[in-house]
Amino acid sequence: MTWRPDDFEELGSELRRRMGAEMRDEAEEVERLADLQRRRRGSLQDVVRAAMHRGDSVTVAIGKHSWKGTLRVVGEDYLRLENA
pLDDT along the chain (84 residues), means of 10: 73 88 94 91 88 94 95 90 84
Chain centroid to Cα 48, Å, comes to 16
Residues 32, 1: one domain?
yes
Chain centroid to Cα 50, Å, comes to 12
Residues 36, 6: one domain?
yes
Residues 49, 66: one domain?
yes
Give the pLDDT of residue 13.
87
Residue ranges making up the domain that contains 15:
1-41
Residues 57, 82: one domain?
yes
Residues 35, 47: one domain?
no
Its pTM stands at 0.52
Residues 24, 47: one domain?
no
Give the pLDDT of residue 3.
67
Quick one: residue 62, left, alpha or beta (phi over 0 = left, psi -120 to 50 = alpha)? Answer: beta
Residues 48, 36: one domain?
no
